[in-house]
Amino acid sequence: MTHIQTSPGVSPPAGDRSVNKRNGPTGQAPPAGTTRPGRRENLAGYLFMSPWIAGFLFLIAGPMVFSLYLSFTEYNLFDAPRWIGLRNFTDMFADPRWRQSVKVTSWYVLIGTPVKLAAALAVAMLLAQKRWGQSFYRAAFYAPSLIGASVSAAIVWRALFSDGAVVDRTQKLFGVETGGWIGDPEMIIYALIALTVWQFGAPMVIFLAGLKQVPRELYEAAEVDGAGPWRRFFHITLPMISPVLFFNVLLETIHSFQIFGSAYILSNATCGPADATLVYTCYLYEQGFVNSRMGFASAMGWLLLVAVGLVTAVLFWSQKRWVHYEEGGR
Amino acid sequence: MSRNSGIDRRQMLKLAGLSAAGLGLTAAGCGSGGGSGSGGTVTIRHSWWGADDRAKKIQQCITLFEKKHPKIKVKTDFQQYGDFWKKFNTQAAGGNPPDVIQNAVTFLRKYEAKNVLLDLGPQAEKGNLDLTGFRAGLEKFAEVDGKLLGVPVGSNSMALVIDEKVYEKAGVAPEIGWTWDDWYAGLQKIRSSQNIPGDAGPHGVMYLYDLILRQNGKAFFTEDGMGFGEAELLPYWTEALERVKKGLYADQKKVEQIKPAFATTHGLSAGEFTWDNFSVRYSAEGRSSYGLAPIPSTDGKRTGQYLGSLMLSGSARTKHPAEVATFISFMTHDLEVARIMGYDRGVPATTAQFEAYQPADAPNKAIAAYETAIADAGLLEPITPHPAGADVVEAAFLRIGADLSLGKASPEDSVKQFLSEAKTALASN
C-alpha cells in the first residue's frame, strides 16, 4: 500500500490497519475505529469528506426529501405549500398533455436506445480491427458524444433539419418532399432520435473494450468449423460481450428517460410543434418553472424515478436469460 | 513519523480551521451581490427581456445614469421573454430577485397577489420618483388595488404589420374604419393575385382575440377569470382551421420552423397582427418594406384598442427602494435616454421623452404616425384587467392555437383543452 504524503510532518494514516480491515477476517489487528488512534483516523476521514457530505445533505438529500413532500402539495413557489394528498398524481393521469409526454418519452426510449446501441456496436466492431489511422477514427467517432449534449449541437441540428436546409434539400433530390422535419409534428421526433444516435461515442468505447476481451481462439476455432461471419457474430461475439451489452443497455435506457436539453433546444423551447417533442422532463420543467406548479412537477419527478427504477429492475431480472458471465467472473 | 497517530491534535485543528474557512468563503460568495459596496456606493440589479440590440441601448443609458448618480451602480442581466420569467420566478421564490425588472400588465396581479412587487407610491411621495408628465394617464397604468406596481417606459398598441409591396401589388389598401370583411376580402385578393397567404395565422394571438371580443362587448379576461367561453372561441378557431387549409393563413409547419423569426419577414405571409413597436424588427429582419395597418373592426368604428405598455417595477425585497425609484425615474424622464432607446420598448411614456426623440428612419416614423393616428381617431380605450395566471393562459392560447392549425386537434378538442388549461392556470396562480 502506498501513501500520498500531503505535507511534511503529516504522518500517513496507519496503513497496516486499513490493509487489514480490507482483508477482512484474516487481518490480525482489531478493526480501525475501535482504538483511540483509529477513531482519530476515522474522524480525519470524515473531516476530509465533510465538504462532500455537506454537499450531499444540502444539495441532494435535502432537496429530494423536500421534493417528496412537495409532490403531495400544491405549491406555486410563492405561497406556502398546501397539502392535497394524492391529487397531483390523480391529476396527472387525467391530463392529456401528461399522457402525451409519457407517449413521446416511451417512443423515444424504445426507438432511440436500440438504434443508438446498434450504431455503437457496429462502429465499435469496425474500429476493433487493426487498420491504418485507427486512433484517428476512434477519436473522430467519439467526438460527437463530447459535444453532443451541448446546446450548440442541438442548434446546429435544428438548422440542419429545417425547411430548405441540408436534409430537406437532400430529400428533394430523391423526390421526397417533407418541407423540413422541425416544423412537422410527425417528423421532429426522428430528428431528435437521430441526434441521440449520433452521440453513440460513449457506449461505443465500452463496446470496444468488451470486444477486445473476446479470445481470438474462439473465432479461429469457429472458422475452422466453417462458421460464417453472421454465425460468429451471434454465437461468439454477442454472448461474449453480453455483460458489456447489458451495462450499455442499462445505462442508455436510464439516460434516455431523462432526455431534456436536446428536445428543449431542438423545439426552440416549446417542446412542440403540437407537443411532438414533449418529453417527460420537458413537461415537468414547463409545469414547474413556467406554470409555477412545483408540487405537480415534483410528483412527476418522483413518478419518473419509480418508472426508471422499475425498468432497471426488469432489466436486471431479464439478464439471467441473456447475459453470460464467465465462470467466477460474476 | 509516528505510526500510532494518523494526525496529531494540532494538525487536526488546522484542518478543521481550513474546512471552516472554506465553507465560510463559499457562504460569503453566495451572499454578496446587491449589497452596499465600499464608500456608500449602492449596487442595484436590473434585468429585462429582449435581444442584444436592446442590451446595448440599456447599457448606454446605465452608463449615463451612473455618471449622474455616482453613488449608485447598476448591474444588468437579460434573457429572452420566456426564459426571463422562468429565471425571475425562481429568483423571486428564492428570495433573491433583481431590484428592478422590466414588466408587463399580464404579470401585475400575479405578483401583486404574491407580494413580489414594490409599491412605488411612497417613493413618489418622498420625491424619489417623478410621476408628472406622463402621456394619457399612463402613470396610473400599473395601479392595482391602490398600489403603484410599476412605471411605464413606453406604450404600444396592437397593429397589423404588412408587407407593403405585396399589399400594393394585390391592390389592397387598409385604412382606419375597415372591417373584418374588408380584411378577409383582402386576404383572398392577396392569395389569388400574389399566391401567398395574407396572414401568418392570428388565431393564437391572445391580444388580438381580446380586441375582437372587446369589439363585441366582451373581453378576454374579467377581474378574476375568463371573459368568454366555448360559444365565442369555437367558431373563431373553426374558421381559422378552414383558412389554414385554404391557404389564406400561412403554412403552420413553416411558421413553426422559423420561430422566433416572423412569418412575414420570411415571405410566408403578407402580414400579421402584433405590437406596433415590433415593426422595427421586421425592417431589420426582412428584405421587403413593412408598414403598419390599422386593426379591422366589426362595425367599422370600435377596434377595442388600448395602449399596452412595458414598465419598470421594483422588487418588494429590495434593500434600496430609494435608489430603485431614482433609477426608474431616470429611465422614464431623462431626455438622453429617450434618444438612446428610441421606440425599442414602445413610444416613450412621458411627453418630454416623446418629444425628445424625433425618429429619422422610416420604421420608427411609421410607428409615431400610427400611434398618433389611432389616438386622433379616438380609438383608444382603457385596458381590461388581467387576472393572476394570465401569462400561463396566454401561453396555452398560443400553443393550442398552433396545435389546431397544424391539424393535430379538432377545433372542438382544442377549445375544450384550452378552457380546461385556463381554468387550472387561473386557479393555481
| Residue (of B158, B289, B297) closest to B215 by Cα position | B297
Q: Are B388 and B222 in contact (CB under 8 A)?
A: no
User: How far is the C-alpha of B289 from the C-alpha of A83, rounded, in Å?
Assistant: 57
| Residue B86 Cα, gap to closest chain A Cα (Å) | 5
pLDDT digits (tens, 9 = 90+) for B344-400: 888 999 999 999 999 988 888 999 899 889 989 999 998 888 999 999 999 999 999
Which stretches does DSSP call E strand in B133-283?
143-144, 147-148, 151-156, 158-163, 271-275
- Nearest residue in A to B10, CA atom: A10
| pLDDT more than 70, % of chain B | 91
**CB count in 10 Å sphere of residue A75:** 25
Residues B142, B105 contacting (CB under 8 angstroms): yes
For chain A, the average pLDDT equals 86
Interchain contact, A179 vs B254, CB within 8 Å: yes
**In the structure, what pLDDT confidence band is assigned to residue B25 with cuts at 50, 70 and 90?**
very low
Q: What is the pLDDT of residue A28?
A: 54
Contact between chains at B19 and A50 (C-beta distance less than 8 A): yes
Q: Is A261 on the interface with B (CB under 8 A)?
A: no
Q: Looking at the complex, report in whole angstroms how far the Cα of residue B181 sits from the nearest Cα belonging to chain A.
A: 30
- Specify the pLDDT at position B28: 40
Look up residue B208 and give its three cell numbers. 388580438
pLDDT surpassing 90 at residue A5: no
Q: Is A42 on the interface with B (CB under 8 A)?
A: no
CA B68 to chain CA mean position, Å: 29
Find the mean pLDDT for residues B186-213.
Answer: 96
Which chain B residue's Cα is nearest to A286? B86
Measured distance CA(B341)–CA(B62) in Å, rounded: 12
Which are the contacts of A122, defined by CB distance < 8 A and separation ≥ 6? none
Q: DSSP class of residue A287?
A: I
A95-150 pLDDT tens trace: 999 999 999 999 999 999 999 999 999 999 998 888 888 888 888 888 887 775 67
Cβ contact B114–A182 (<8 Å): no
For residues A169 and B266, give the distance between their C-alpha atoms in angstroms, rounded to a whole number.
18
Q: Which residue of A has its CA nearest to B253?
A: A183
* Separation in Å, CA of A60 to nearest CA in chain B: 17
Which candidate in B257, B262, B399, B410 is best for mutational testing of the A interface (most A CBs within 10 A)? B257
- Tell me what pLDDT residue B210 has: 97
* Per-residue model confidence as pLDDT tens digits over B47-86: 999 888 889 999 999 999 999 999 999 999 999 888 899 8
pTM, whole model, 2 decimals? 0.81
Q: Do A74 and B428 touch (CB under 8 A)?
A: yes
Instruction: Please tell me which of the candidates A37, A47, A268 has its beta carbon nearest to residue B4.
Output: A37
Is the preceding peptide bond at A215 cis, omega within 30 degrees of 0? no
Looking at CA atoms only, how far is residue A306 from chain B in angstroms?
26
Higher pLDDT, A66 or B22: A66
Per the CB < 8 Å rule, is B16 touching A9?
A: no
Whether residue B399 and residue A184 make contact (CB cut-off 8 A), yes or no, is no
* Higher pLDDT among residues B31 and A104, named by residue: A104
Query: Cβ–Cβ of B259/A275 closer than 8 Å?
Result: no
CA atoms of A251 and A308, how far apart (whole Å): 11
For cell 402525451, what's the residue? A100
A33 interaction partners in chain B (CB closer than 8 Å): none
Give the per-residue pLDDT at B338: 95
Query: Is B8's pLDDT higher than 90?
Result: no
pLDDT at A327 over 90: no
CA distance B100 to B316: 10
| ipTM value | 0.79
Question: Does pLDDT of B23 surpass 90?
Answer: no
Contact at CB, A183 and B5, closer than 8 angstroms: no
User: Which of A168-172, B14-18, B60-64 has the lowest average pLDDT?
Assistant: B14-18
Quick one: pLDDT at residue A138? 86
Task: Specify the residue for cell string 460569503.
Answer: B28
What span, in angstroms and rounded, lies between the C-alpha atoms of A121 and B190? 55
Q: Note whether B256 contacts A78, CB cutoff 8 Å.
A: no
Strands B151-156 and B158-163: unpaired
Q: What is the pLDDT of residues B331-340, one digit of tens each?
A: 999 999 999 9
